[in-house]
C-alpha cells in the first residue's frame, strides 16, 4: 500500500511556512488552522492575487526563494500549503 505521508521534516516546514503566511498577511488564525492541502488561492482562505504577491515576498525574504514568472508554475506552487512548502524545500538558499 502506497500512502503519501509527509516526513516529519516536511510537516515541520509546512507548519513553518503556514506561520510565515499567517504573519505576512496578518491573518486572524494560526498556522495550525491551515491544513497542508488547503488551497492558498481562492475561497477557503479568502486570499487573492495581492496576497499571493505578499506571500512570495515573505518567502523570498525568509528562504531566498524566488517564484518564477510562469503563471502555470505559480498556480501549482500556490495550489496548497504542501505545494508551497515543497517548492521552498526544493529551492531555498537559506
DSSP-assigned letter for residue 47: B
Q: Is the residue at 1 inside a domain?
A: no
Number of domains in the chain: 1
The per-residue pLDDT for 3 is 45
Mention every residue, 6+ apart, whose C-beta is less than 8 A from residue 78: 39, 40, 41, 52, 55, 84
Domain-located, residue 2: no
* Among 86, 63, 92, 91, CA closest to 14: 86
Q: Model's pTM, two decimal places? A: 0.85
- Model confidence over 28-64: pLDDT tens digits? 999 999 999 999 988 888 899 899 999 999 999 999 9
| Cα–Cα nearest to 90, from 17, 29, 38 | 17
Task: Give the CATH number for residue 50.
Answer: 1.10.1200.10
From CA 83, how far away is CA 66, in angstroms rounded?
15
Q: Is pLDDT above 50 for 1?
A: no
Amino acid at each position: 500500500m502506497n500512502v503519501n505521508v509527509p516526513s516529519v521534516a516536511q510537516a515541520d516546514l509546512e507548519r513553518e511556512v503556514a506561520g510565515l503566511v499567517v504573519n505576512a498577511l496578518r491573518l486572524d488564525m494560526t498556522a495550525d488552522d491551515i491544513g497542508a492541502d488547503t488551497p492558498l488561492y481562492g475561497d477557503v482562505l479568502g486570499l487573492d492575487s495581492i496576497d499571493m504577491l505578499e506571500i512570495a515576498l515573505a518567502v523570498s525574504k525568509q528562504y531566498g526563494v524566488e517564484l518564477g514568472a510562469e503563471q502555470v508554475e505559480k498556480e501549482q506552487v500556490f495550489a496548497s500549503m504542501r505545494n508551497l512548502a515543497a517548492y521552498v524545500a526544493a529551492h531555498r538558499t537559506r
